[in-house]
Chain A
Amino acid sequence: MGRYLLTLRRFWATALASQLEYQLNLLIDLVAMAGNLAGSLFVLSLFYGPGRSLGGWSWEAALVVLGTYTVLDGVASSLLRPNLSTIVAHVQQGSLDFILLKPIDSQFWLSFRTFSPAGLPEIVTGLGLILWAAVKAGAELSPVRCLATGLMLGASLVILYSLWFGLATTSIWFVKTWNATEVLRAALTAGRYPISAYPLRLRSLLTVVLPVAFLTTVPAEAILGRASLSTGAASLLMATVCLLLCRGFWGFALRFYTSASS
């Protein structure tokens, strides 16, 4: 365990050092993030006139959902996208060889090799938005409720990671899977709004096929005190199953890895 922690520290230290070589790039990332958040708030504000609600959610409650989405998007910008989008390139260029030859879990390497600070402000803003909007919506922030929300948010992250990693794994066979991960990312933007805001059929799709409902709505319901115990359990179960499946799928896919030609 100590070896993995030290490796992670060195991974992220070198990743930060690499990015600081290009200051302007980092600045542009931060500006893009601010623009993105402002855009989301503007779109959401369009749905709310005086006395209107979205799928039975008040403006403040919907902001909690947006805050959850912002946290997930921040994690995606900081960790998921920088790491998982390189899997395709590793397969294409054959640099996956170097990773597979190291006496360390290859999924760990591919998932945590780099870290981008560009998503950090989004994570902080998202968490702030969740807390502020929850208080405004009249939620009582007891330690138990905060813990439950943290758990649900953790489950969301695991589900999102597993879906993304699973899609990236298919690059072992298809090599080009950028489009697939972009489609996933686009579908996740549906999680900006409460799941009940969508028509019934779409709601089922966003719960069962693409578990967007588990990603943003369930953690928001948890902090607002609306989540049932069974919903929470379903979310944790979903996260566990997704993680196990994606890990098994990676091991299976590696048997078909032929390594790029020299």
Chain B
Amino acid sequence: MPIVCAERLSKTYRVAQKQPGLAGTLRHFFWRRSRSVEAVRELSFSIEAGEMVGFLGANGAGKTTTLKMLSGLVHPSGGSLMVAGHVPQRRQANFLRSITLVMGQKQQLIWDLPPMDSFRVNAAVYGLDDSEAKRRINELAEMLELGEELTRPVRKLSLGERMKAELLAALLHRPSLLFLDEPTLGLDVNAQARVRAFLADYNRRYGATVLLTSHYMADITALCPRVLLIHQGALFYDGSLEALSQRLSPCRLVRLELKTPLPASALASYGAVEAIDGRDVRLLIERDQLTATVARLLGDLEVLDLEVADPPIEDLIGQLFQQGVVQ
């Protein structure tokens, strides 16, 4: 029995339309005009308990709206939805105890006080007694490598420390279903890795189901064997990450810093030249030729620095949509 089951899920918003300038403002003041925007269109998918699923899509694709419908914050305009055996928008206490929503851009911790105070509030709200709350806080703090930060005011914490404390606050009631909206947004590479390791650990320990959106491909590759890709509110792809990754990026992006600038023609034999900015070069090289080509580059040219990465996920998704590849 799937823990999440969405059937032709849709959400339409009314959005005000206003022309720029004073005339537009006056017209808007007296004659309000609005149009319907289909944020999510007939989305159908299901998720089994314990799965870790990546939720991909460009900005405005409908990812956050879907997460908010799944967590019961937004009422769907159409379709049916069952999450953990409940209709989410009824927001029954048992349902709310079994889920959590973490939003990278928003925080629930009390800004002027140490995170510990926010945890105590959450413990009371979820009806955890002091000893149980303490045990869980210690356990999660250990998993997240949080120590004295828990007694420092939130406003004095670094972004990475704050995000880890946010996760602790969101997971204190030990939810079995995690909706994570950009949980690593703005974090440095180390903090991102720490958060990823923690989420994987949490999933293993408690068998929790995770639905994760992120613009960092590394989050998805590290955590999610399965991805859902949506575009303009509709499901574009549902399947393994490997198949999607191959399809999305047959090439890898190689960033070079050369000792002296070279024209594009001198670099064309190594791969597709994506951009040249003085001594900085970006090349797209096919995956199966990467090792050999990088060896050639290092042998032939005076290279000061070299970095291999996947092309930004938004670029890849954009390309995919332009190609119109629909599965």
CA of A18 to CA of B113, assembled, Å: 6
Instruction: For A255, list chain B residues within 8 Å (CB).
Output: 75
Task: Check A103 against B108 for contact (C-beta < 8 Å).
Answer: no
B184 within 8 A of A: no
Q: Which of B71, B74, B101, B110 contacts A14 (CB 8 A)?
A: B110
The interface centre, meaning the residue of A7, A101, A258 with most chain B CB atoms within 10 A of its CB, is A101
Task: Check B13 against A258 for contact (C-beta < 8 Å).
Answer: yes
CB distance from A76 to the nearest CB of B (A): 23
A95 within 8 A of B: yes
- The count of chain B contact residues (Cβ–Cβ below 8 Å) is 36
CB distance from A58 to the nearest CB of B (A): 48
CB distance from A116 to the nearest CB of B (A): 14
Residue ID in chain A nearest B95 by CB atoms: A103
CA of A9 to CA of B72, assembled, Å: 28
Instruction: For B94, list chain A residues within 8 Å (CB).
Output: 103
Q: Which of B72, B112, B122 contacts A21 (CB 8 A)?
A: B112
Given A10-B124, A262-B103, verify A103-B96 contact (CB < 8 Å): yes
CB distance from A174 to the nearest CB of B (A): 12
Given A101-B71, A101-B99, verify A14-B121 contact (CB < 8 Å): yes
Task: Check A10 against B91 for contact (C-beta < 8 Å).
Answer: no
CA of A101 to CA of B126, assembled, Å: 11
Instruction: For A97, list chain B residues within 8 Å (CB).
Output: 68, 73, 101, 103, 106
- Render A98-135 as a binary contact track against B, CB cut-off 8 A, 1 for contact: 10111110000000000000000000000000000000
Q: Which of A11, A14, A102, A262 contacts B181 (CB 8 A)?
A: A262
Q: Which of A18, A93, A104, A261 contacts B125 (CB 8 A)?
A: A104
Instruction: For A14, list chain B residues within 8 Å (CB).
Output: 110, 113, 117-118, 120-121
CB distance from A17 to the nearest CB of B (A): 6
Q: In B87-116, which residues have CB < 8 Å from any A CB?
A: 91, 93-94, 96-97, 99-101, 103, 105-106, 108, 110-113
Instruction: For B120, list chain A residues within 8 Å (CB).
Output: 10, 14
CA of A17 to CA of B71, assembled, Å: 32
A154 within 8 A of B: no
B64 within 8 A of A: yes
Task: Check B106 against A95 for contact (C-beta < 8 Å).
Answer: yes
Q: Can you list 22 residue pairs at the A/B interface with Cβ under 8 Å? A: A10-B121, A11-B121, A14-B118, A17-B117, A18-B111, A18-B113, A21-B113, A21-B153, A22-B112, A97-B103, A100-B73, A102-B96, A102-B122, A103-B93, A103-B96, A103-B126, A257-B74, A258-B74, A259-B73, A262-B64, A262-B103, A262-B182
Report the 5 A-B pairs with minimum CB-CB distance, sorted nearest first: A103-B93, A103-B96, A7-B124, A98-B108, A262-B64
